[in-house]
Amino acid sequence: MTDIILLTGFLGAGKTTLLNRLLTGEIDPGKTIGVIVNEFSQTGVDGQIIQAPSGTDLVELNNGSIFCACIKDHFVDALIDLAGRKLDLLFIEASGLADPANFTSILDGIKKQTKDVYRYLGGVCLVDALYFPKFFSLLPALKRQLLYSKVVLINKADLAEPGQIAQCLNLIRETNPAAAIYETTYGQVSFTQLYQGLLPEEAPADAEEGLAAAGRPAVDSTNTPETRPKTLTIHPAKAIGLPQLQALLAGLSPHTYRIKGFIMTTEGPCFVSCVGEEVDIQPVEKMGAAAALVVIASVGIKIISLATAEARKYWGDDVQIKVD
């Protein structure tokens, strides 16, 4: 039997940080583990920073939500393939705007191919204490993430004012009063805590198929090609000064939900992570691939001209903009 834990949460809420903590934490080293990482953009970033133990089966699914028709077939193929690998535990990190309402119907649809090997424990939803109240009413997927979770982490609690955390708590309790709630910083929660919150209750003998682990019936996901945010990737061909990189991000971030990636600066390689106008640049020892910044827009197609203009201020013609 392979237990599945689904990680959801808005862009930049801390899903990858939490996943790394779980993978390198107190999980029995004798367990066989699989990971599916999902990103909206064609260029995968999270796969480069996942700290998976040796022997972990890692699958990256990019360019859309795994719950959307755009790449759902690839998700199904990955689940069927991993079902044959005798895993004890499978973590699925969904993209930040994923709507998982149809997940259990996906699992039900592949029971024959997977020999019914999967046991879905439930969803863990990360709530960004700084930005969740702002985007909750604007983005239907965020409500679905809450509805279909059994455990909710209010992350970045150290950065938020008490009033912001109170807003988050009110929204969570109004939406999913049965969820277990923890306040966290950098996803600091033990696997044991999560596992206890996810352990399944005994289902009634006449329970319908397709019930989510949170006890809700599966319904169609709101993730469709039409609702997908505009995403692009900036590919620079040369290094940039750190002040210039900061200026670039200051110019772009007000028009985005998320910017992340690796950039070569004149001071060395850096990892960039922006959520809204919150900008974080961290030096790293090396980059796992060519320099690239993934940009997920909050302004639609307008982001193409904005990103092109900003990038050319600092790289001139030594930069490519690829639209997903």
Residue 35: name the closest of 47, 21, 26, 24 by CA.
47
The one-letter amino acid at 176: N
Neighbours of 80 (CB within 10 A): 13
Q: How many whole angstroms separate alpha carbon 84 and alpha carbon 108?
A: 17
Segment 184-201 shows an average pLDDT of: 88
Residue 249: name the closest of 228, 268, 227, 275 by CA.
275
Segment 179-198 shows an average pLDDT of: 93
- The per-residue pLDDT for range 278-304, each reduced to its tens digit, is 899 999 998 878 899 999 999 999 999
- The per-residue pLDDT for range 145-167, each reduced to its tens digit, is 999 999 999 999 999 999 999 99
Q: How many whole angstroms separate alpha carbon 265 and alpha carbon 12?
A: 22
Q: How confident is the model at residue 184 (pLDDT cuts 50, 70, 90)?
A: very high
Domains of the chain, start order: 2-198 (3.40.50.300), 231-323 (3.30.1220.10)
Contacts of 273 (CB under 8 A, 6+ apart): 12, 259, 260, 280, 282
- The per-residue pLDDT for range 33-67, each reduced to its tens digit, is 999 999 988 777 877 888 888 889 999 999 999 99
Q: How confident is the model at residue 207 (pLDDT cuts 50, 70, 90)?
A: very low
Burial class (CB in 10 A: 0-12, 13-18, 19+), 112: exposed
Mean pLDDT of the chain: 92
At 46 the pLDDT is 76
Residue 6: name the closest of 30, 38, 31, 29 by CA.
38
At 28 the pLDDT is 87
Burial class (CB in 10 A: 0-12, 13-18, 19+), 285: exposed
Residue in this structure with the two tokens 């089966």, named with its chain if needed: 57
Angle (nearest 5°) at CA 221 between 216 and 224: 175
Residue 99: name the closest of 62, 76, 67, 126 by CA.
67
At 209 the pLDDT is 46
Tokens at 85, concatenated: 């690998």
Q: How confident is the model at residue 200 (pLDDT cuts 50, 70, 90)?
A: low
Q: How many whole angstroms separate alpha carbon 303 and alpha carbon 41?
A: 14
For the chain, the residue count is: 324
Tokens at 314, concatenated: 């600092």
At 201 the pLDDT is 59
Give the end-to-end CA distance of the chain in Å, rounded to a whole number. 37
Q: How many whole angstroms separate alpha carbon 114 and alpha carbon 117?
A: 6
Tokens at 248, concatenated: 């670039």
